[in-house]
Amino acid sequence: MEDTEPVKFRVRIEPPRRDPSKWSRQFTCLLAADRCQRCYGTGQSHVYREGYPCGCVTRRIFVRLLSRYHEIQAGPFLSASRNALRTGHPGIWSRKDIEFCADFVLLARRILTAAQLRIFEHYFLSGQDFHQCIPRLPGGYVRGTFFHEVYRVEQRVGHAARTLKPYALYPAEEYFRGPVQRLAKTTPVRRTF
C-alpha cells in the first residue's frame, strides 16, 4: 500500500454577503432624515461602502425601538392577558412584550462597550438628562463628547437590531407577530388516470 499525501484543497474565504432586503434603497429612504448632511435624505451612505445605511437611518431605528420599550414599560406590566401568546408547544405561553424588552437590553449589553453601556442605561433607559448622567460616567465627559457617544450608541444598537439573526428586533411589528412565511410557488399536479 502506497503512502499518498492528502489532497490539498484551496479554500476561498469570501466576506459575508450583505442581505439586500435589509438595507434596500426603498427601506432606507423612508427612515432617512431629510436634512442629513451625509446621505442627503437617501438613507444610504457611500462613504464606507455602497449600499451601507447612513447613521441617520440606524439612529431612527433605535429611537423607534426605544419608544416601543418605554411604551411597554409604562403599560400594565403584570397583566396576565396582555400580549400573552400561545407557542407551538402545548401548555407554553409567550409574553412577547417582556421578551422584547429583555432582547433589547441584552442586545445592547452584548455589543456596547462598558462606557457606552453606562450611557445606554442612564441616559436612555432611566431617562436621566445630560447633567445627571455626567457625574455617573467615568472618563470626564463634556457636553460635546457625551452626545457624540450618545449618537454612537444609537447607531450601533439600531444597526444591530436590524441585522440580528435569525429574528431581527426591527421592525417591531414583525417581531411581535412572528416571521412572515411566504408560500412557495407550486405548480398544479395533473393526475392521469
Q: Is residue 139 part of a domain?
A: yes
- pLDDT tops 50 at residue 114: yes
Check residue 15 and give its pLDDT: 47
Flag whether pLDDT at 6 surpasses 70: no
C-alpha cell at 181: 412565511
In a domain, 30, yes or no: no
Q: What is the rounded CA–CA span in Å between residue 73 and residue 50?
A: 38
CA atoms within 13 A on the CB side of 110: 10
pLDDT at 21 over 80: no
Residue 36 is assigned to a structural domain of this protein: no
Domain housing 97:
57-176
For the entire predicted model, the pTM comes to: 0.73
Q: Which residue do the cell numbers 437590531 mark?
A: 161
Please, which residues bridge with residue 99 across strands? none
The total number of structural domains in the chain stands at: 1
Going by pLDDT thresholds of 50, 70 and 90, the confidence category of residue 102 is very high
Q: Is residue 161 part of a domain?
A: yes
pLDDT of residue 108: 95
- The reply to whether 99 falls in a domain is yes
The answer to the question of residue 104 being in a domain is yes
Phi, psi of 75 (to 5 degrees): -80, -175
Name the more confident of 133 and 182: 133
Long-range contacts of 27-34 (CB under 8 A, 24+ apart): 28/53, 28/54, 28/57, 31/56, 31/57, 31/60, 31/61, 32/56, 32/57, 32/60, 33/60
Which of 101, 98, 145, 142 shows the shortest CA–CA distance to 124? 101
pLDDT at site 133 = 87
Better-scored residue on pLDDT, 15 or 56: 56
| 23 or 97: which leads in pLDDT | 97
Q: Please indicate, yes or no, if residue 37 is contained in any of the structural domains.
A: no
In this prediction, residue 158 carries a pLDDT of 92
Is the model's pLDDT at 79 over the cut of 70? no
pLDDT of residue 154 exceeding 90: yes
Calculate mean pLDDT across residues 164-169: 82
Whether 171 is in a domain gets the answer: yes
Residue 51 CA to residue 45 CA, distance in Å, equals: 7
Q: pLDDT > 70: what percent of the chain?
A: 68
